[in-house]
Structure 1
Amino acid sequence: MPESSARSRDAVSGSSDVLSSSNRGRRKRARAADDVTGPSLLGFVQVDVRSLDAAAVRAPKYEEPLECGQVSKRRDERLTTYDATNLRRLRGVNAGAGADLNQGFGTFRDRDRREIYPAPVHVIFGAIEASGQTKVLEDVDVITWRGNMSKLLTTAWNVSEAWTMEAELVNNRTIVLNVKETEEGLRKALTRDGRDERMCYWGYAFEEAACSEKPFEEPVDCMECFCCVVKTKMGDLNVLMAGEVDCFEGDAELANYVELKTSRVMNDERQVKRFEKEKLLKWWAQSFALGVRRIMVGFRDDHGRVVKTQMLETLKLPGYVVKHANSWTPKDALRCASAVLTKLKELLADEPSGTRVRVEYEPKKAKHRVNFIRDDSIPDFLPADARAKLMNDGSWRERGPQPTARPTSASEPPRDAPAPELSETASAMSIRARTEGRTNRIEYIRSLGPAALLYMQGKDPRRTLRGRVDDDTMGGIGIDPSIWIQQKANYTGIDAQTSPQMMNYDHKAAPASSAKSSGARRASSSGVGDAHDRASTENSDRENSQN
């Protein structure tokens, strides 16, 4: 191997040592005998795209997540139940349009922003026990909240936001990641002014406006939420992950869950480019990791009024940024997350049992470098009964709340129903597909790949494709890179007849090939307000960064 290539590979891994099994054993005993009095750097990994390329890190396959647990969280934790009680139904694709997001701000019940550990892992284990699916713990490699996974997926393009998480390798097999707030994040949360607090509230208010039959009659409480637990696989790593879900449309199952987001309306190409390269990356990472297929966006003005809503498909989001140089891609995002988790497991395997580390990323000190720091002061964040289960103890020491049976509609197929088969080919489907504006969608449908095709047929790709999501269905290809800019004109309201997936897109500036393949209806809309400053657009709307 050339010397330069070797150096690149060593930089990615953070170490050039290749330890034999005997050396590892001696190292473990030596570490156990040491009296470690302070934090120490175990290693690091470079996660920029260039370093990943130099190390020949391949993009892992990511399986379609399958739901295996549910949690309805309450402000009073004693009232938390492991069911879908708190799962809300979306009132429609236009729900929340025209809403004043300032309503209810005076009675808003926020969470304690001083909390260092806002998302304890015991909830994940409680949901798994209540669902009767503890078998998934037998071969799980990573247990985490979705917020941690989102951070890993976006780090290769993160040049400003620090993050941290805590980790322990249990039984030399399972990495458990604990959510932790950074000091910088706590400081910002505790020093927000009235404008920042109001803009943070707008995200919760949009959920209320879009899902409640009688919005704002009761105080909005961000601690009352629904979370689902999913199992998936990233490369060779079996992942168990929990995350907050805003609502559903149709039957109450993962395939119909919808994420709700708010964002300021855009007026020029600079704002559009930043929106597509930065905000869409975060939205994609959050929804893709958990298997949420759709995102409904409430585009608001500077005064907190929703001027339009728009439904986006998670798998199509990467297609909007392919026209930008050095933009994010799903493959590189998965390579980044895989590189961090693989290196973390490798380092912890050489440490004594019970070693806990901080996984830190501080871009202001070193961009794209993730550090692994051994710190004996990290408290034990894993419940004793959960640890016993991961250690193959075979039984839970304490029984948690029992699951509440969820009513199943008569039209909902049983969970163990046989996998549906493809009833028609892509060509046959495209012939009968509804055309929009006399534009045929044959090439568009063919380009989406098998999972998206099944989804458009109303079928579940998880059952037919056995959960495998290939490169094409991850959105690696360019799909309809539409322009989001609104025109300077008087806003006249939302056209209810417009296709919800493509409503309010303006294709005037889109490439001809994109306009031809999309078959989307044109809908006129207007810009509201003046250009916003950078700081406000960064922190204006709520992000589910922890859950």
Structure 2
Amino acid sequence: MTETTIPHNPNAYASTRPPHFTVRTSIAEYSMDRQRNMHLGRMHAKYLYEPAFRLKDVNFDLNRGHGTFEDKENENEGITVMLEWINANYPNGGSLRKALHETEFFCWRGLLTKIATTPYATKDAWASRAVRRKGVIFLCQFETEAERQRKENMSARDKLMTYWGYSFESYMTIDEPGTEPSTSSVVSRREEFATVCRGDLTAPDGSRLRLLYSAEIDAIDHAGGLVEMKTQRGELEGGFWRWKAPKWWMQSFLVGIKQIVVGHRNDNGYVRKLSCVNLDDLKASKQAQWRPEVMLALLSKVLHTIRINLLKEDDACIVEFQPDMKNLNSN
């Protein structure tokens, strides 16, 4: 077993030419119903309730419905869902890599976000398995010990605050254009709508990584654009620019989202203000203490290192980050 250590300090990438990331959205779409069965298309897509922005007084109680909230029964089903999508689209036979648009890596958007934002999220441990199958490298995130302990130690207040984000979506989304939000319905994470995106990460030397990744989508706007929704305590100030802003930017950038809908809440879980944050403004703000180029450079470095280590069929490795260290262990 060999071990490769990749630097994650932003200064390590400050003087390097950044890679270029080209996002090609809408390779495919699928929905999951409450029984977690997959359906190709937009069966469970939600649409942005845009009249909410014309409200004179915003007063969304995010605590509403907490007692009947339907959470996912299995948080670690990621690789199963990805394989189910492959089987639904491409029956056995033929070249898997060709069927997956000549991709080299297949994963969830969330893992790419975690890897890329590591230079600015130095307290967040993460881990992933990587395995090469039929010319495609599958990346599957798994729960670290730190994450497991954090979940086990969550207080009732922590769980309620986590719910607030899903509750906000229920105020801001509708099932069909032209209708109104059904705020009396059960808030559920079991239904979801997702897109599959193709991204090309091109290094300064011209070498290119082809990625295919799936991402859950909060809503679709009237023009067909994908929408991300967030709740934020008060205004976008202070620590937001150091910790949250790079995650918000990378998460939306990877699927071509241009604006993020924000519900500004108080400590009691009431949204009193709505705003839209433009991704370009988020990146260009003088308050931003992060650089997209650094995140893309680290993502490129990590993926290139995985590709170098996994050259043969069934080659596998573990990629992990622990605070103050990053190890790439390969068999």
Contact 1:93 1:296 (C-alpha < 8 Å) held by counterparts: no
Among 146, 153, 165, the residue aligned to 1:191: 153
With normalisation by structure 1, the TM-score equals 0.54
Report the residue type matching 2:173 in the other structure.
Answer: C
Q: 1:305 aligns with which of 265, 270, 279?
A: 270
1:387-424 deviation per Cα after TM superposition (whole angstroms, max 9, x unaligned)? xxxxxxxxxxxxxxxxxxxxxxxxxxxxxxxxxxxxxx
Shift of 1:218: 2.1
Q: Give the Cα separation in 2 of the matches to 1:176 and 1:187.
A: 26
Please report the TM-score for the alignment, with normalisation by the length of structure 2. Answer: 0.87
Higher strand share: 2
CA spacing shift, 1:232–1:204, aligned 2, 3 Å: same
1:354 aligned onto 2:326: no
Task: Provide Cα deviations, 1:109-158, integer angstroms capped at 9, x if missing partner.
Answer: 11236x4454532144246549xx98452521211110011012101112
Look up the equivalent residue of 1:149 and give its one-letter code: L
CA change 1:323–1:234 in 2 (3 A) is same
5 Å-filtered alignment, 1:419-438, equals none
Q: How does 1:401-440 map to 2 (within 5 A)?
A: none
Q: Kindly tell me: are residues 93 and 123 of structure 1, through their superposed partners in 2, closer, same or farther at Cα, counting changes over 3 Å?
A: farther
Paired residue for 2:83? 122
Residue by residue over 1:173-225, the C-alpha shift from the partner in whole angstroms, topping out at 9 and shown as x without a partner, is: 43211121222212222321111111000000000011142433221111211
Letter in 2 for 1:372: L
Structure ID, larger Rg: 1
Per the alignment, residue 131 of structure 2 pairs with 168
Give 5+ residue unaligned stretches, structure 1: 1-39, 376-547
**How far is 1:89 from its partner?**
0.9
Change in 2 beyond 3 A, CA 1:187/1:323: closer
Superposition pairs for residues 455-534 of structure 1, below 5 Å? none
Q: Provide the residue aligned with 1:137 in structure 2.
A: 100
Q: How many residues were matched structurally?
A: 313
In 1, the alpha carbon distance for the partners of 2:101 and 2:64 equals 47
CA contact (8 A) 2:120 2:242 kept: no
The answer to whether residue 188 in structure 2 is matched with residue 221 in structure 1 is yes
Map residues 250-269 of structure 1 onto 2, 5 A cutoff: 250-252=222-224, 256-266=225-235
Secondary structure of 1:68's counterpart equals strand
What are the within-5 Å matches in structure 2 for residues 47-446 of structure 1? 47-53=8-14, 57-77=16-36, 79-92=37-50, 94=52, 97-112=58-73, 115-118=75-78, 120=80, 121-126=82-87, 128-129=89-90, 135=98, 137=100, 139-171=102-134, 173-212=135-174, 213-235=180-202, 236-252=208-224, 256-266=225-235, 272-320=237-285, 322-323=286-287, 327-349=289-311, 352-363=312-323, 367=324, 369-374=325-330
Determine the C-alpha separation between the residues in 1 that align with 2:116 and 2:103: 20
One-letter amino acid of the counterpart of residue 102, structure 1: N
Name the aligned partner's letter for residue 112 of structure 1: E
Distance 1:373 1:72, change over 3 A: same
Describe the SS at the equivalent of 2:171. Answer: helix
Q: 1:41 to 1:109 in 2, by over 3 A?
A: farther
| Aligned partners of 1:140 and 1:174 also within 8 Å | yes
Amino acid at match of 1:76: Q
After superposition, the CA RMSD in angstroms is 2.3
2:177 corresponds in structure 1 to none
Identity in percent = 27
C-alpha separation between the residues in 2 aligned to 1:81 and 1:353?
A: 31
Distance apart, 1:274 and its partner CA: 0.9
Shift of 1:353: 2.7
Counterparts in 2 of 1:126 and 1:227: CA distance versus 1, 3 Å = farther
Q: Supply the distance in 1 between the matched residues of 2:73 and 2:78 (Cα, whole angstroms).
A: 9
**Aligned AA (1:137):** L
Contact 2:201–2:209 (CA under 8 A) maintained in structure 1: yes
- Counterpart contact for 2:97–2:104, Cα < 8 Å: no
Distance 1:125 1:353 in 2: 19
Q: Distance in 1 between matches of 2:98 and 2:307?
A: 22
Letter in 1 for 2:232: S
- Counterpart residue type for residue 66 of structure 1: T
1:319-343 Cα deviation digits (max 9, x unpaired)? 12x345xx21111111010011011
CA contact (8 A) 2:90 2:99 kept: no
The answer to whether the 8 Å contact 2:97/2:103 transfers is no
The C-alpha deviation readout for 1:80-115, integer Å capped at 9, x for no partner, is 2011111111111635931100110000011236x4
Unaligned 5+ segments in structure 2 are 175-179, 203-207
What SS class does the counterpart of residue 94 from structure 1 fall into?
Answer: helix
C-alpha distance in 2, partners of 1:251/1:161?
Answer: 36
State whether residues 71 and 127 of structure 1, in contact with CA within 8 Å, keep that contact through their aligned partners in structure 2: no
Provide the rounded CA distance (Å) in 1 between the counterparts of 2:264 and 2:143.
Answer: 28
Q: What is the Cα deviation at residue 372 of structure 1?
A: 1.6
Are the counterparts in 2 of residues 70 and 127 from structure 1 also a CA contact under 8 Å? no
- Aligned partner letter, 1:312: V
- Residues 47, 339 of structure 1: 8 Å contact kept: no
**2:30 partner amino acid:** V
Change (3 A) 1:176 1:119: closer
Task: Tell me how far 1:281 sits from its aligned partner.
Answer: 0.9
Q: Distance in 2 between matches of 1:128 and 1:328?
A: 39
Partners of 1:119 and 1:302 in 2: how far apart? Answer: 36
Deviations 1:471-497 (A, max 9, x none): xxxxxxxxxxxxxxxxxxxxxxxxxxx
